[in-house]
Amino acid sequence: METGTKAINFLEKGLYWLLGGLFLFAGILKVRDPGQFAVDISNYQLLPWQAGVATALYVPWVEILAGFSLIANWNRPGALRLLLLLMLIFLHALFAVWLRGLNIECGCFGRELSTSNYAILFARDLLIFAGLGWLFQREWKHRIALELSSGASRSQDTSARDRGTP
């Protein structure tokens, strides 16, 4: 295997671990105090209170399970898609409050690592999104290549059967 390919594979594995750990950590921080997270969500003024409460109770567990999936390579493609979708929603919410000039705590990593500097928050979330996006396109390419190769081997089997050769 070429050194370049090895390095990229190593980077890919490291990024799965890093991003998985990040979501696991963020989820655990929020799970410890869902009441506070509900207030943080409500500060965005995008959801009614009850919907915010449901989100505060549910989303951190999705983050924890999806983060664990990335690390443990269990249902990884599904977890990757879920986290990409979550990041899209987070970015949208953050951009919405930034535009409206609201001065709120992000709540992204609970209150321990909280900041309301939108430029930093937006840049951080974009970076995470880009990392997930890169992993997604690698996984996508790999999936297509696998499907093509399994399709090719199937057609070889069929033509061998047609010719009557083993």
* Footprint of another protein (CB under 8 A): 31-40, 42-43, 45, 49-50, 53, 56-58, 61-62, 64-66, 69, 75-82, 103, 105
Sequence letter at residue 87: M
- Pick between residue 7 and residue 146 the one whose CB is nearest to another protein: 146
Sequence letter at residue 45: Q
Nearest CA-CA partner of 57 in 86, 84, 78, 37: 37
Instruction: Compute the distance between CA of residue 33 and CA of residue 27 in angstroms, rounded to an integer.
Output: 10
Instruction: Compute the distance between CA of residue 21 and CA of residue 86 in angstroms, rounded to an integer.
Output: 16
- Pick between residue 36 and residue 165 the one whose CB is nearest to another protein: 36
- Pick between residue 3 and residue 50 the one whose CB is nearest to another protein: 50
Sequence letter at residue 13: K
Tell me the closest approach of the beta carbon of residue 61 to another protein, in angstroms. 4
Nearest CA-CA partner of 36 in 19, 11, 51, 57: 57
Q: 108: which strand partners?
A: 110
- Pick between residue 7 and residue 134 the one whose CB is nearest to another protein: 134
